[in-house]
Structures are given as structure tokens and as C-alpha cells.
Structure 1
């Protein structure tokens, strides 16, 4: 329960509708210092010399050179999104909402080679991840290097790579703003409705079309898959600048490896109560809990004595008012973990110790 929960408005990074967006490209002239001497020799750098802006620029360009060839654009019928080459066999990991209900795709690699055809391996909407596979693997296909979630830290410089607004091979820069965010994706506009824990929050600009792309550290390692963007109601539900979320690399590898091996996710690592629920409201029409509309026989809730009609109002110390808040509370727990569920039965408050099941 120690994950930070982001409760502001969230929107998924919608794959761009092909042909639906036009951008005005503006040429901007740079400024130069009239007193600068362009012929001046660059100072010799010693091993102990402080790093300069030029050094950081070199780092950026090296990362882009290493990783961008592994980031692809995915054309899923009428929408465009991004993906990351996972292995040398042509597997590509992306978001489930990028592939939607499609089974075949056109894939363009960042270096501009011929468009390749790809087929769906499997989707896992519960984590908004999917794997597709190139029908024919082109020579020189370069898999990305995937990092380790435990080494990701707040303040690290990151680059987001993908096809925002259909502009393939685009790169933006920012930092890791926070870790451990739990966010819920809206089902609006075809979203999966996934509640995802331990997400990486970043200030790197990510926009529609970035979905499924790569969030990369300065070691040229993919540390996340950009998936969600916050919106600001005060800006007319426009994107909130500098607040985006990426699925952590640990979950990406867990899901992708299982899909590639078995064609499906066999061990989600996601906790479940094994119930079907619906949000209920109080006399003032405010969300007040989750009523159990169904309890799976032999499931976690059933074994703990919960039954249809009970209203869950708390999971551990976390108040539960809606289905979304219940999903968020469960997202940071693990199968087999014991939690205290507080619920109402015939208006009387009760508690039960539940050993969580698995999605």
C-alpha cells in the first residue's frame, strides 16, 4: 500500500488517427554572440574536468544513436502508435490500446527502411501491454536494451522516443519526476481501463502517438513504456504539461516474456479479490463503496466469507469509494498477501481477513 496514488484526471496517450493532424513547421533563426571567436581552440579536457553542456549533448546524441533504431511506428488500421523492438526474432512490445482489436499491422522502423508487416501475438489489457511480431525479420533489426526498475531514480535524465502526432523518430527530454505512481486509465476512446501500479512519472513531453514507445536513460536502456498523460480540466481537458506516465520496465519484461513463451500471461503478479463489483452512492449521491455483484466460488473473497450484497468500504487502511479506488488499492498488493477488508452487511460494519488471489 506504499505506492503513491495519482488521483488527478488521466488520459491514455491515444494512437494518432492517420491523416487526422497537420502541424505548422516554423523555422526559427538562432542567435550568435557577435564577440564570440568561432576559431578559438576548444580547451583540453582532463579526466577530472567538470562536465559541460557539450558533454551532455554528446550523451544525448549517443543515446539517440543507440536506441532510436529500436523504436518503431505501428500503423494499426486507422491509428498510429509506437513500439520497441524486444528481441532479434522480431517481437515488438507496445501498448494494448495501440493495437486495439487489430490482428495485423504495418511497422516502420525509425531508420526509415521499408514498411514491414506484423501480426499480433497477444494483448494483456489489464496492464495495457501487447506484443506483435514481424512477419519477416529484416537484416540488421536492432533489439533495444532493457534496464532494471530498481536502478531508476527520481531526477534521472530521460529521453522519450516514438511517433508523437505521427512524427516518427521524435525525441524529447526530461527527468524522472516520481516513482511508484498508481494510475487508472479511462475506457473512453477505446482505452483498456487498466489500473497500473508503480508507474514512472516523467516530465519528458509525451503526446498522442508516443504510446508504446520508449522512455530511455542515459545508459541507452529502456526503463519504461510511455502510456498515460495527465489532463488539466482548467485547460479544457488539454494535456497537463510535463506530467506523463510510463509502465515500468520490470512489468514490461514480465508480461512480454510470458506472452512470447506461452502466447498469454500465465502469472500476472496482480492481486485480486475474485469479485464482480459496482460503485454505490450514499444519500447525497456521493460514491460510498463497492457492492459485490458477484463472488467467484472458491475465490479469495468467497473463502473469507464475503458474499453478494456486501459493500466494501476499506482495503487495509485505504478507503474504498469506487471500483477505480478498489483497483488502485489492489494494484500495489501481491497474490497471497493477507489484507483486512472492511465491509457493510445489512448496514452493519464488519471486517474479514482475505488472502488475495490473482488476476
Structure 2
């Protein structure tokens, strides 16, 4: 599933109600002292509400001015996306599905219309992240500051920055709708098919071209890299409004630091069984498990005694019906953890303990 790719906020409903009430009271007669005190209380509340709106607008403007220069547009041969300046050496982090199979890119920064050339450092489709590096670092290039994923809370106001539909340096706003989501991308339309854990769900609009950009809190810290939006099969797989997902900053930092230091990812932190497998169906053509096709020698499944032909139906407490459900179950675990695998062999159900390996 690929990413679905300003004026300050208006006073909210509570402010409108206050103003309406004041207008109504002004047209009414009455001389009681209690009514007069009520009028003055309402009149005092109006500037407080307006002041709160002004403070919020100032916060938006401050964050946009501070962070937007660190968000770039990335143009591959046929695809367009966004990226975030990671350091002053010209490293830019983006999505793996933005870079695709390309190795060179045209990058446009927020402060210039000049196109810069960047080259791929490494792409890691398993987490849908990639790093490119500018061949020439322009003067004044500013790196973004990444936030602490553990402090992201539902209800926080966030801004999504990127190049939706090619509209560079665009900003949308919303809130953090949920945290800890495990989401699987589609493998069509350039998607990597990755299963990513701990994603941040947001109501901020995520459209094609926002991929690889920045999801930013009002402290001016990047808390995630927007990667995809939910689709609604009932609407022909069109985007489901207000349901977007961003890769958490902790994952972005871990993967990007490894790529910059080693040229690749050396410690994925992703649990694996060490098998090649496929989804199997039952007599009603319903997905019914994951058949082991090949077992990696010395891997977790091999050590646990799994064999080709075994059909996995549960991992721990999770029912397994498809490869996607297996990937999502593994995404919640860590290498080295012990769990159980329930499977069928020759028509008989069996269960073994397994120490998970690393992908």
C-alpha cells in the first residue's frame, strides 16, 4: 500500500458559541446585577479564547519555519516523494518505496528551486526506509531533529510536511490518532510489502508524494516518517480519509544510523523463524495457514525441528492464516524471545518451542 500521495486555524466551536452568546446578550434588556456580572465574565472569556487561538497559530508558524527547510522533494526517474535532511553532511532519509530501484535522484530543498543530485547509500525495504546522500551540500543545509517515540501520545497535534501530488513544501495538520500500530504495505504500485511495527497513526492528510516526509510535533521534532495511508476496499481501494501511518522516529534513527555508519543494516531488531513459506488454503479456498517451503540451516525453525511441508497455524497466541499474519505476529516479537509454534504435519497437530532468530 503506497503512501497517499495556510492559513492558521479558525476559532473552534466553543469560541463561536461565546461570540454568539455575547451578540444575543447585547440585544437584550435587563438591569439585574447578577446578569451584569455574567456579561462581564463572558466578555473576559473572549480575549482569553482568542489569545489561545493566537498562541496555537504562533506555534504552528514557529514549527513550520523551523522544520520545513529540512524537508526536501525527491524525484526519481518516474516517482516523486519527500525526504528529511538527517545531518549536515547531506544524508537524507526517505522511504524505500520512494527510491525504488533507482540509484540517482534529483533533490529540491525548501529554500531553493535548484535541483541537486543525490545518490543512494542503501535501501532497506524490510522497514521501508532508505538513505540518499547529496553530491554537493548546499550552504545552510539544516538537519531535522528527531523526537522520542516513547513520548508520542494519542491526541498530540502534529503537522505532516512533504510534497503531496508534487506540491513542494506543503503542510497539513491533524493529531496522533493511535500508536503501536502494526501495518503491512501492499506490494503493488511500488510498495515494498513490508510489515512495520509500532507505527504512528495520524489524522493529518497523507497523500501520494508525502512518502518520506516528516510528521512533526509542536516542539518541532520529527516523530515519524509518513509512509502510507489506509485504503478502503469498499471504495475501490481509494484512500480512507484521515488514516495515515508514519514509521516511528526510533526505528528511523536506528536504521539510518546503521546505514550511515556501515553502509547497510547490520542489526534489524526484527524477529524471524528462518523459513521460506507460502500461504495455503483449505477445501473452501479460505486461507488456512502457512506452509514451510524451505528451512534455513541453523535458523530458529531448524533448531526447533520444523521441516518443509509443515503448516504453521499459530505463533504464540496468534492465529496464523497467511504470510501477512505471520509477518505481523513476528513484528510484535524480538530476536532471542521464546515462543511456541503450532503446526500440522501429516494431518496431526504439533507444538514446539522456538527461540526466534533475526531477519
TM range (shorter): 0.7 to 0.9
**How far is the alpha carbon of 1:111 from its aligned partner?**
1.7
Deviates more, 1:166-175 or 1:232-241: 232-241
**How far is the alpha carbon of 1:191 from its aligned partner?**
1.3
Unaligned runs of at least 5 residues, structure 1: 1-10, 16-32, 37-42
Aligned to 1:23: none
| Number of corresponding residues | 323
Whole-angstrom distance in 2 between the partners of 1:281 and 1:133:
45
- Does residue 61 in structure 1 map to residue 94 in structure 2? no
CA pair 162-51 structure 1, distance change in 2 beyond 3 A: same
Moved over 6 A (4+): none
Deviations for 1:244-293, whole angstroms, at most 9, x for unmatched residues? 00000000000000000000000000000000000000111100000000
CA pair 303-51 structure 1, distance change in 2 beyond 3 A: farther
Whole-angstrom distance in 2 between the partners of 1:216 and 1:272:
32
Aligned to 1:82: 82
Asked whether the 8 Å contact 2:4–2:229 carries over to 1, the reply is no
**RCO greater where, 1 or 2, for CA within 8 Å and sep 6 or more?**
1
Give matches, 1:1-359, under 5 Å: 11-13=1-3, 52-359=52-359
Q: What secondary structure is seen at the aligned counterpart in 1 of 2:189? A: helix
Whole-angstrom distance in 2 between the partners of 1:57 and 1:166:
26
Question: Which structure carries more helix by proportion?
Answer: 2
Q: What secondary structure is seen at the aligned counterpart in 2 of 1:64? A: helix
Deviations for 1:168-215, whole angstroms, at most 9, x for unmatched residues? 000000000001100111111121110000000000001000000000
Deviations for 1:120-149, whole angstroms, at most 9, x for unmatched residues? 000000000000000010100000010010
Unaligned runs of at least 5 residues, structure 2: 6-18, 24-42
**How far is the alpha carbon of 1:113 from its aligned partner?**
4.3
Asked whether the 8 Å contact 1:14–1:98 carries over to 2, the reply is no
CA RMSD across the alignment = 2.0
Whole-angstrom distance in 2 between the partners of 1:234 and 1:113:
40
CA pair 52-344 structure 1, distance change in 2 beyond 3 A: same
Whole-angstrom distance in 2 between the partners of 1:190 and 1:174:
26
**How far is the alpha carbon of 1:347 from its aligned partner?**
1.0
Asked whether the 8 Å contact 2:91–2:132 carries over to 1, the reply is yes
